[in-house]
Structure 1
Amino acid sequence: MRHSLPLAPQFYVTAPQPCPYLDGRMERKLFTALQGDGAQKLNDALSKQGFRRSQNVLYRPSCSDCAACMSARIDVSRFSPTRSQKRTLKKNARFVRRATSPWATEEQYDLFRRYLDTRHADGGMADMDVFEFAAMIEETPIRSRVIEYLDEESNELRATCLTDMLDDGLSMVYSFYDPKLHRNSLGTWMILDHIQIAQETGLPYVYLGYWVPNSEKMGYKAQFSGFEIYHRGEWQALDDPANFEADTHPLSTDPIAEQVANISIPDSRN
């Protein structure tokens, strides 16, 4: 009888391209494919190590001369809403949550297009068509949900979040909302609602994507108590983000081979 060894994930690095967060710098990503029977376990394990999912790919920043971009999450047990966040909850009380399977709709795409055209017209997703949008929503090999938020009075879709279900929390893959309601702080409100879902289901964390110190685009994430970052190989509580300096020294990033060697991979045989 011939026995075959389990295949370990293969890791690759993208070509450098302009960083969307820090002017004058180049970004590079370390990534691996997410597929097969072990996809859920791999996603759970690598999410704890700073990786994010995009369709069938897991990735994390691996810039050659900068380590400013860090994975962020909220420790639900340490979260307490601020006065501003309580006002945001009250302001959006008329919206109702509807969790569905990861299936794209025309209504979602229309909202997505209005959001991009108003908020991120020059971003990397600005040219995404309806088929690419459907792929972003539907091409998932793990437990994912589309969480829609509808106006209780008009039944119109006002916000949407593609959310992954991890073994230790919820991962907000991508969210968008009606740009006409910018005063409602719907981005913040969706995070607050995900914290509530985590509390209701007994999950300890809400993963928010990446955070860069002093980046205006990401500053809102650090306004939540219980905020944590994945820094130098471990999760650290960050109680005062204003005092955290971005690590942009050329020697702040380990060599690729060392990064890959230090990644913990789940045993696919279990």
Structure 2
Amino acid sequence: MSDLSELRFFRTPAHPCSYLEGRQAATLFVDPQTPLDARLYSELSRLGFRRSGDYLYRPHCEGCQACIPARVRVADFRPRRRHRRLIKRNSDLTVSEEPARYTREIYRLYARYIDQRHGDGDMFPPSEEQFTGFLTCDWADTRFHCFRDADDTLLAVAVTDHLDDGLSAVYTFFDPDQEARGLGVNALLWQIQASHRLGLPYLYLGYWIRQCQKMSYKSQYQPLELLRDGRWRLHTSDGG
């Protein structure tokens, strides 16, 4: 399907926002009966949609536009000094590209990460069914990029979707006991580099939320483009 005007959408009822206290949120989903493929996914990503499992969605909240789609302009990205230090710190890691599927090793790392980092979030408690339903997809071109140390111990997994104009950083989880490595930031820097190697112009980061610390960090990856009023515009403030 290439005519986006023919798509059907469903809006969820209002519910407490996960990011901004005291706010109500709603989500717009593409009709689950719609035949989806990587090409349509790419088109909708340019309109600010994200993937969760087999579903495509974007925030659609009454009276609030705090969640702004963000993407890194890859060719112009220059790592900062702290980024270069972090890359050097993790230079002993190797990265392998693996199919996006359940394995006991990968799930074990995911469960530890959710238990220790997101025990108060929507994904707790983790389960094998939830892992598969959240991260894998039948119609998307999804890869698990696995970061391992010299002992072949799995330390981080960057779940990455391949779009026609970039990579999409779907989710990253890592060993919560290896905080000094900065594994989450390292994985994102690797995804930027991977986009560049593949000749793709963008890395899609999901939603930037100025008022939410755990989402506002994305502005440190410059140049960053934000989707406002239907147009991708350069965001000039680094927000820290």
Counterpart of 1:193, as a letter, is W
Structure possessing the higher radius of gyration over alpha carbons: 1
Q: What CA distance in whole angstroms lies between the structure 1 residues aligned with 2:32 and 2:11? A: 15
Partner of 2:202: 205
- Which aligned segments of 4 or more residues in structure 1 are displaced greater than 4 angstroms? 34-38
1:12 and 2:26 correspond: no
Q: What CA distance in whole angstroms lies between the structure 1 residues aligned with 2:81 and 2:61? A: 37
Correspondences of 1:139-178 after superposition (within 5 Å): 139-151=137-149, 153-178=150-175
Q: Deviations over 1:32-62 (max 9, x none)?
A: 0467765222101000010001111111110
- Shift of the 34–195 alpha-carbon distance from structure 1 to 2, 3 Å rule, reads farther
Q: What CA distance in whole angstroms lies between the structure 2 residues aligned with 1:88 and 1:96? A: 15
| Structure 2 unpaired stretches of 5+ | none
Q: What CA distance in whole angstroms lies between the structure 1 residues aligned with 2:138 and 2:51? A: 9
Correspondences of 1:15-94 after superposition (within 5 Å): 15-33=13-31, 38-94=36-92
Normalised by the size of structure 2, how large is the TM-score?
0.93
Partner of 2:234: 237
Preserved contact between residue 115 and residue 124 of structure 2 (Cα < 8 Å): yes
Partner of 1:193: 190
Q: In percent, how many aligned pairs have the same letter? A: 37
**CA RMSD, Structure 1 to Structure 2 (Å):** 2.0
Counterpart of 1:165, as a letter, is H
Preserved contact between residue 114 and residue 126 of structure 2 (Cα < 8 Å): no
Which of 114, 119, 125 is the aligned partner of 1:116? Answer: 114
Q: What CA distance in whole angstroms lies between the structure 1 residues aligned with 2:126 and 2:102? A: 14
RCO comparison, higher one (Cα < 8 Å, 6+): 1
Counterpart of 1:61, as a letter, is P
Q: What CA distance in whole angstroms lies between the structure 2 residues aligned with 1:34 and 1:142? A: 14
- Shift of the 14–36 alpha-carbon distance from structure 1 to 2, 3 Å rule, reads closer
Normalised by the size of structure 1, how large is the TM-score?
0.83
Secondary structure in 2 aligned to 1:230?
strand
Q: What CA distance in whole angstroms lies between the structure 2 residues aligned with 1:8 and 1:144? A: 26
| Structure 1 unpaired stretches of 5+ | 244-270
